[in-house]
Chain A
């Protein structure tokens, strides 16, 4: 993708970063649920 001004560049990269941050929040939430889902289970050595 071509950028002709610094504004274009930051619009594009910041926009991508904000979308990614939203995905990060959802991803970490899902990961936490996956991580803690079976906390009652017993230990396997």
Chain B
């Protein structure tokens, strides 16, 4: 453990604290996940999944990949806000957001192995048999490159932890270039994930099918990224509070307010664009069907409502409301990706032929999320993620002194 603001736990206490409810539950999930991993790679997809020729993409694509990529968008939104748009007041949120995004993308690739199989052939689509006319190839290439970018963006924390000053300084100098590259790559693959479904106009329900799907996926990923930073910050604030220094705590509330404001605007734009999409395809009549009810729940309950809650929260400077809005937005993005790739996909098929995941598919997804959580905790408790390393301080001395959690006295400076 490094950093004077992050006191280390004595070894004896650490050993005694191993048998906590958290460790027991996560240990069990990891154990089940490892057993299912062996089953998956020895018995094939049929051994653990309900996937079929009609439904070759299941919850591992809907949740692990589509939701994973969307919810990892906090990396590019935060670093773009801080380094490209010069909003340095959000600097404290960059490292947690980059770490979350890096782990999110790493786990997307990890989870893809369960779907695709034969992990030793992972480099094939990039180096051996690329299909440059395929949207999926573009997604694969972007995720491959962006994972490298995120790794490089995360390395300063690890290099500070390892006290490799020269390498750390070199990586810090590359920050702006990496951020711009990351934004470009994210813009491309976040939208391309939506473009993947353009090939299936007869399979995806008209309420969700639109030629604007790439735009919807990209814009909703911005709201997802901003909301995940607020959501993840809230959880970290609660469970990793002792790892945070005054600089991080001082910026925490500003991040929630500023990102809440940004998310409110993005959600409202997204809401109206979805309506324009409905109007251009003249799909209004579907709103009176069962799928229409589901669409209305998604659009009103998980886009319009969080937008309104964000606005009320920012207007009233009420962080609790903003945090609830962030939770709703994250759930809304999950619901949207599930609707596009699962619930409203193959909607013509009779109920008996529709896809429902086996418990083992759900358990593998849970296992992957748990692995991400454990790695996040491992890194955040050891490396300077929520605090500055004492040997590499960048903040001004006068900003370091107050240890109170009060925000700055001029909340209007939070705005854009």
Question: Judging by beta carbons under 8 Å apart, are A43 and B411 in contact?
Answer: yes
The yes or no answer to B268 lying at the interface (CB within 8 A) is: yes
- Cα(A24)–Cα(B279), bound, Å: 13
Cα(A43)–Cα(B250), bound, Å: 13
In contact, A35 and B261 (Cβ under 8 angstroms): yes
Tell me whether B368 is interfacial, beta carbon within 8 Å: no
Contact A41 B279 (CB under 8 A): no
Interface size counted on chain B using CB atoms at 8 A = 28
Whether A31 touches B280, Cβ cut-off 8 Å, given contacts A42-B317, A43-B411, is no
A interface: dominant SS: helix
B234 to chain A, nearest CB (A): 12
Residues of chain B within 8 A of A32, CB atoms compared:
265
- Where the two chains meet, the residues of A that have a C-beta atom closer than 8 Å to any C-beta of B are 1, 9, 12-14, 16-17, 20-21, 23-24, 27-28, 31-32, 34-45
25 contacts between A and B (CB under 8 A): A1-B282, A12-B282, A13-B279, A13-B281, A16-B280, A17-B280, A20-B275, A20-B279, A27-B268, A31-B264, A31-B268, A31-B311, A32-B265, A34-B311, A34-B315, A35-B264, A35-B314, A35-B315, A38-B315, A38-B316, A39-B411, A42-B317, A43-B407, A44-B318, A44-B319
Contact of A13 among B268, B272, B280, B317 (CB under 8 A): B280
* Chain A neighbourhood of B261, CB < 8 A: 35
Closest to B317 in A: A43
Are B265 and A35 closer than 8 Å at their CB atoms? yes
Is the C-beta of B415 less than 8 angstroms from some C-beta in chain A? yes
Instruction: Given A27-B268, A45-B320, output 7 extra A-B contacts at Cβ < 8 Å.
Output: A16-B279, A20-B275, A34-B315, A38-B316, A42-B317, A43-B319, A43-B411
Q: How far is B320's CA from A23's CA once the two chains are assembled, in angstroms?
A: 31
With the chains together, A13 CA to B412 CA distance in Å?
A: 41
Asked if A28 contacts B272 (CB within 8 A), the reply is yes
Query: A-contacting residues of B (Cβ < 8 Å)?
Result: 253, 257, 261, 264-265, 268-269, 272-273, 275-276, 279-282, 307, 311, 314-320, 407, 411-412, 415
Q: Which residue of B lies closest to A17 (CB)?
A: B279
Bound Cα distance from A44 to B315, whole angstroms: 11
How far apart are the CA atoms of A36 and B264 in the complex, in Å?
A: 11
* Chain A neighbourhood of B272, CB < 8 A: 20, 23-24, 27-28
Q: Which residues of the other chain, B, contact A41 by a CB distance below 8 angstroms? A: 316-317, 411
Q: Is the CB of B280 within 8 A of A45?
A: no
Interchain CA distance A45-B411 in the complex, whole Å: 13
Asked if B415 contacts A13 (CB within 8 A), the reply is no
Top-6 shortest CB links A-B: A24-B272, A39-B412, A16-B279, A43-B317, A17-B279, A44-B318
Q: In the complex, what residues of A have CB within 8 A of residue B320's CB?
A: 44-45
In the assembled complex, the Cα of A21 lies from the Cα of B164 at a distance in Å of: 54
B323 to chain A, nearest CB (A): 11
Which residue of the partner chain, among B269, B282, B415, contacts A9 with CB atoms under 8 Å?
B282
Q: How far is the CA of A31 from the CA of B310 in the complex (A)?
A: 11
Q: Are B314 and A14 in contact (CB under 8 A)?
A: no
Q: In the complex, which residues of chain A have a beta carbon less than 8 angstroms from the beta carbon of B273? A: 24
